[in-house]
Each structure stands twice: as structure tokens, then as C-alpha cells.
Amino acid sequence: MYRSLFAIGLAAFAMSAVAQTAAPQTAANQDPSQKIVAVINGETITAAKLDQLYNRTSAQMRAEYEKNGGKIAFLDNYLRKRLLVQEAIKSGYDKHPDVQVDMEAAKESALFDRYVRDVIASQVVTANDIQKYYDEHPSEFQRSEMVKVRHIVVVPNGAGPHPKTAGDAMDEIKKIATELHAQMQTPPGTDPAAAARVRSNYFAAAARQYSEDGSAQSGGDLGWTGRGTFDPQFEEAAFGLPVGQMSGIIETRFGYHLIFVDAKKPAGVATFDEVKKDIRERLLAQRIADVMATVSRLTNELQSKSKVAVYPENIE
């Protein structure tokens, strides 16, 4: 509703990686939100900033990202945008007078939009309205068991980007598995969550290097998926693995896979905190006319209390 078509087009841009993989941030005592997820020409992107940017996207757009690589895909997309912004600044394009006018207008527009959405619209869609909708529509928030999984696939029988025999493909996936097992060893006493993040980083780097399908560019990330999506052999392994662990070699009709489970969600009802933002967006969409009527009423009141002078004779 408040995003330009151009902005939506950018967000839908191809999700290929543009940054080289850096050494993972693995300090056990480091605040996870301050860990570095990317550095682009000296500009640091932390996990907290990535979360902030990702959470600002619409529910529909986040759902699309979740199907196509999740935050990794979003980050790849954002880095492309930042590269162009950096280039524009480096060339001095941001100093052009007409560009300055547009930038100031965009700033004003963003403030107007956010104030309408966050302050004025709260008079139309209240916290009680959101809670009431959640309480009265429990069936809408049922979710099946979900798994967030990465994989590496090597394709046999002359298919794939690097044609090879079944035997050669099996040898290659075994080599990758051996390499990853060696990398994923963590010292005794390592915090389990930190160890899982380290293993995930190593697996993602290997997927970018070796995997032979479209998910390679996003570190093999297949996003959140429920049952009935994957091949039976793949699904059995993905849902059977503990979080933070890598599978053995899984054979499907697509090739030989290694699987890594990043996270799981049990079947059940999504919590209110998980869905309240989406409920608010849904209710706002239904009551947009009321929101705009409230905006009109407020601007009329402000105009009546303010000193406003208009000189039409000076308008060309």
C-alpha cells in the first residue's frame, strides 16, 4: 500500500550473492545481534540491522523470501542495492539539486507514511482489535510442523551444471561430507547454540561452493517448509535430524544430498506475538477508508488551528 512499484521491483530482483564469504563471527560471548553478517566496501551490516530491515518488509514479501532463501536472499538483494547507492554517492550524484529535492521529498513522505501507519491508524485498528481478531480466528493461525533446512546437492548421470557419472557424483559428495565433518568439530564445552551457528556458516559456505542447484547462491537455504514438499527420502531426513546437525548422504531423484537443519517449529497455533503484525496489516487493509477519513479529519483540525497562507497569484 505504501511501497512504490519501483521499490517492489527492486525487492523482487534476482537473489544471487554479491559478497564474498568472510570468516564467521564465532565468539561465544558476543552479542548475537552485533555479529557481522556482511561487509560491503567497508560498510558493516550487523545481524541487528539485517533483522530491522527484514522486519520492515511486508508480510507477503517476507513469505516470498522464506520460500526463496529467507534472510540470506534478502541480504543478497540488499547488498546489490547498497552497491548502487554507494556508487551514486561516490560519483557525487546525491549532490545534484534535483536529486536533493527528491531525497527531501522521500524523507517527508516516509515520515508522513510512518506517522499515519503507526500513530493515526492506531485509532482505527487498536491493540484490542488485533487481540480480538486473534482470539476469534484460531483456525487461521494453525501451522503444521515446519523445518528450516539447507542442502548441498551433486547431480549424477550427466545432468546438472557439471556433468558427471553417478560414481563421480558419489565420490564428490563423500569428499564434501568429509571436509564438512572436519570443519564442524567444536571444542568441548562450546555453547550448543553458538556451535550450531558455526556449523551452519560452514555448511552455507560449502553449499555456495559445491551445490549444483539454484539454492547454492543463498548457502543452500530452502527456507521454512512443511511436510509434503520434499522427496520422501529428503523429507524423512530433514524432519528427523536434530537442529544444528548435518545428515549423511541422502539419495533422491535429483541427486546426492547433504542436509543441515537450521531450525524447527512444532505443529500448533502460532503465538500472538508471531502474527500480530500481520493481523494489523490485514485489518488496516480492510479499514483503509476509515484511516484516510481520520487523516482528513485531523488535517482539517490542524489547518483550522494553524496559520496557513496561500498565494495562488504566484503559482505559474
Domains in the chain: ranges and CATH = 1-95 (no CATH), 145-266 (3.10.50.40)
Is this structure's pTM higher than 0.85? no
Flag whether pLDDT at 66 surpasses 80. no
In Å, how far are 70, 240, 251 from 236, measured between CA atoms? 22, 6, 12
Percent of the chain at pLDDT exceeding 70? 89
Q: Give the distance from CA 25 to its chain's centroid.
A: 19
Cα distance between residue 200 and residue 156, in whole Å? 25
Q: Distance between CA 276 and CA 104 in Å, rounded?
A: 32
- The whole-number pLDDT of residue 30 equals 58
pLDDT of res. 121: 95
- Per-residue pLDDT of 294-305, as tens digits, reads 999 999 999 999
- Region 229-251: mean pLDDT is 93
Which of 68-72, 247-251, 274-278 is the least confident region?
68-72
Task: Output the nine-digit C-alpha cell for 69.
Answer: 532463501
Which residues in 31-47 are b (16+ Cβ under 10 Å) and which e? eeeebbbbeeeeeebbb
Examine the pLDDT at 105 and tell me if it is beyond 60.
yes
- CB under 8 Å to 125, separation ≥6 — which residues? 280, 283, 284, 287
Residue 26 has pLDDT above 60, yes or no: no
